[in-house]
Amino acid sequence: MKKLGLFGVMAALLRREVSVALRQKGEVLTPLVFFVVVASLFPLGVGPESALLLRMAPGVLWVSALLAAMLSLQRLFATDHADGSLEQMALSSTPLGLLVAAKALTHFLLSGLPLVLMAPVLGLQFGLESRSLGILMLTLLLGTPTLSLIGSIGAALTLGVRGAGVLLSLLILPLYIPVLIFGAGAVEADAAGLGIGGHLSLLAALFVLSVFFAPLATKTALRISLE
């Protein structure tokens, strides 16, 4: 058998995750549709005044993206846990933290990235200008990887637990608050004529912190779940 380096293992894992996900297209598309539906409900709820919608747009789009990204988190480890491949991964010589990071990366590629690409379309419906749309995409691009990483902790903790879906949201949503504040805040700050350098730096800092700590916590949580 060919011996793979760390990056080889990671690339193989990424390939596997992406091909599994692409064979079940519903898993990729459902959160995306959910994102569109939730964002479309807000104008119906608060009324069609364009000034109000414009004011709310960054927050609404960010909250909807947050919920959509969370929706697909449950399946992050669940199917691999069910068919036993997760245990094989945990037993393999490759560090579990690396495997977890690869999992989070695929979660971002398959559920975060589509949200980033879909957001400007919804932003247009709320009347955001092209400059704001660009910033919205940028903050989502910086923020959704953090969501995937933090979310992986929750997914590992709730693995095989009763009522995992609702529990996951209770555990993870409070931890998403900083990302939400800086993500939606950047778009608003720019619209108000303020600089957004601070927001973007803090989003990047949150990303770096979660790259370092989240795989560690997820790894520990997975080992506990697999005991």
Partner 1 sequence: MNTQKIHWFKFSSPQNFYFLAGRMWPWFAVLATVLAAVALWIGLVMAPVDAQQGQGYRIIFVHVPAASLSMFVYLVMAGWAGFGLAFNTRLSGMMASALAPTGAILAFLSLATGSLWGKPMWGTWWVWDARLTSSLILLFLYLGFIALQSSIDDPRRADKASAVLALVGAVNIPIIYGSVYWWNTLHQGASVTVKGASIAPAMLWGMGLMTAAFWMYAITMTLVRVRAIILDRERHAEWVKHAVE
Q: Where on the chain is the footprint of partner 1 (CB under 8 A)?
A: 153, 157-158, 161-163, 167, 170-171, 173-175, 177-178, 181-182, 185, 188-189, 202, 206, 209, 213, 217, 220-221, 224-225, 227
Q: Least CB distance from residue 178 to partner 1, whole Å?
A: 4
Residue with smaller CB distance to partner 1, 142 or 221: 221
Q: Minimum Å distance from CB 221 to partner 1?
A: 5
Shortest Å, Cβ 175 to partner 1 = 5
Torsion angle of the four alpha carbons 95, 78, 23, 106, in this order, in degrees rounded to the nearest 10: -40
State how far the Cα of 149 lies from the Cα of 127, in Å rounded to an integer: 31
CB atoms within 10 A of CB 3: 6
Nearer to partner 1, 82 or 170 (CB): 170
Alpha helices in 92-191 (DSSP H): 96-107, 113-125, 130-157, 164-191
Report phi then psi at 129, rounded to 5: -80, 165
* Residue placing its CB nearer to partner 1 in the complex, 10 or 164: 164
Q: Which residues contact 199 (CB under 8 A, 6 or more apart)?
A: 139, 182, 183, 185, 186, 189
Nearer to partner 1, 106 or 158 (CB): 158
Nearest approach, Cβ of residue 224 and partner 1 (Å):
4
